[in-house]
Chains A and B, each alone.
Chain A
């Protein structure tokens, strides 16, 4: 009887911890929703930060993340292809381990690194540095998904391609990648959702700006960095703006994340 009681208690505690986890998610999302919607205005999307809007910040943040994807996705995929398709042996495994470690490297350290090589020598914050920092964050994530998804493609598909006389890179690009397309797409969307919400790597690389700017040689407006600045200002209006920005950011991040998950789910 004692055993059964203990069992009930422990299982109950386990359910409680799941509820705690869900509770925090609900609490954060509700807070964001209530605070965000009450400070959200349509005019926020038409004005720049200097006029009390968020337009330049949203565009700047998306521009940085998109350009980082343009750099990071091909490099990450090529590296993942090497690890899974070409590299057989110690070096490929070594790179795989390093990439896993890099995935958990502190983002602020990446920011400091980029500051030292791409901001200080050029005399000030610039968008290129921000793009560089974000793509360094993105590459190991893309490598990881490409590697895992290519590993799921059956060996027979590759053999069939080779037997038809196709060269190895043709087999990889036309058969293997196509077979793993959905999984890789999910990985790309998830990693995009991750870097679009990053703050620390941008803090002293591309910083932020109150004005509309799409020119990468200057400081770039950033939603996340501006949230950090606005939230620490004493005026209530700044904080309201920070809440509206946080709400928009979370909606963007969660939408992309969920889209990524749903395309794999439909495939199954």
Chain B
């Protein structure tokens, strides 16, 4: 019994490894046709689902090949009626037309959209999250800090689809009135993302600020330092790694956020000229296009998913191992 229980718990723990490996290899496998076809050029190609002509030389060679094949079949079947032959010829020309164009998928627009919206979210969330963390750990009396802390954490508990609804109907019009441009845009998506990562960032920052020993703070106060100076010169340097870790972790989360951004970014495959233009991000591309995609399109979406998975895995593990190790 003891052995069984131990084995069961070991098995469940190993499940984590199995799932993560499974996710990686399944995505890779499903993305394989697209990876084979577009390779790393996928990362810098801004065309998505575009019909393009194949390069001149290639199409000529395919024509020649088919003509040769035609001749061979003609020689083989002497008895075929002329009508039939004509029909076959027509089919062949149709095929030629199809072979002259191909559908191209490139991931540049969603990749750029993901990075830009995350970056905007970070710029706006960072100062406010720091302010909240300072307020919760240093300024507010305990009676106030606890309920305010819970309220901020409740903001993190609200489902992302709710942020999307609220953002689209109430927040986006205000942003568009203030900054001009479209209601659905990179800016609105980034701002709503900022609100979403705010509580998360504030909570971890507060926790790492709370690890500063009281002795250090008290010594600084005894020397006549103001509260701001204590925060700036004692607490921030002491909890620096934890804070940077929390910022990167929030970044990793923001990149994978789907539903709220799906409402707000506009879901258009164009590189935005201005910050108020609509564009698309990787999770949104997957959410919006997965339903109708098939073949190479579906494979390309898996390719995007793989890219997102690898980036966010890298970012999160970087934050965990490099910065948050001490906190644990």
B72 at the interface (CB under 8 A from A): no
Name the residue on A nearest B284 (C-beta): A108
- Tell me if A7 and B227 are in contact (CB < 8 A): yes
A: contact size bracket:
35 or more
Q: Taking the nearest CB of chain A, how far is it from the CB of B233, in angstroms? A: 12
Q: Is residue B122 within 8 Å, beta carbon to beta carbon, of the partner chain?
A: no
CB-defined contacts of B313 to chain A, threshold 8 Å = 101, 105
Find the residue from B150, B152, B228 having the highest chain A CB count within 10 A.
Answer: B228
B159 within 8 A of A: yes
Whether B136 sits at the interface, judged by CB under 8 Å, is yes
| A78 proximal to B (CB < 8 A) | yes
Q: Write the nearest CB–CB distance from B206 to chain A, whole angstroms.
A: 11
B127 at the A interface (CB under 8 A): yes
Asked whether B80 is an interface residue with its Cβ less than 8 Å from the other chain, the reply is no
Contacts A22-B151, A109-B305, A116-B26; A249 near B162 (Cβ below 8 A): yes
Question: A153-161, A213-221, A253-261: which lies at the B interface?
Answer: A253-261
Q: Are A86 and B10 in contact (CB under 8 A)?
A: yes
Is B148's beta carbon under 8 Å from chain A? yes
| Beta-carbon contact of A101 and B320 below 8 Å | yes
A199 within 8 A of partner (CB): yes
Residue B258 interfacial (CB < 8 Å): yes
Which of B46-54, B57-65, B163-171 contacts its partner? B163-171
Is the CB of A163 closer than 8 A to any CB of chain B? no
State whether B158 touches A250 (Cβ < 8 A): yes
The yes or no answer to A57 lying at the interface (CB within 8 A) is no
Interface size of B by Cβ–Cβ distance < 8 Å? 87
The answer to whether residues A7 and B229 also contact, given A14-B135, A15-B135, A25-B151 and a CB cut-off of 8 A, is yes
The answer to whether A83 and B162 touch across the interface, beta carbons within 8 angstroms, is no
Per the bound structure, the CA–CA distance linking A25 and B252 in Å amounts to 23
Q: Is A17 touching B131 in the complex (CB atoms < 8 A)?
A: yes
Residues of the A chain whose Cβ atoms lie less than 8 Å from the Cβ of B29: 116
Q: Provide the A77-120 mask, 1 if CB < 8 A to any CB of B, else 0.
A: 01101110111000010110111111011111111110111000
User: Are B13 and A102 interface neighbours, CB within 8 A?
Assistant: no
In the complex, the answer to whether A117 meets B22 with C-beta atoms within 8 Å is yes
A131 within 8 A of B: no
Most buried by A among B161, B313, B321: B161
Q: Tell me the smallest distance from the CB of A224 to a CB of chain B, in Å.
A: 5
User: When chains A and B are docked, how far (Å) is the Cα of A245 from the Cα of B128?
Assistant: 31
For A246, give its contact among B8, B17, B165 (CB under 8 Å).
B165
Q: Which 8 A-B pairs have the closest CB atoms?
A: A106-B256, A17-B131, A197-B159, A78-B12, A82-B9, A7-B226, A79-B12, A169-B5
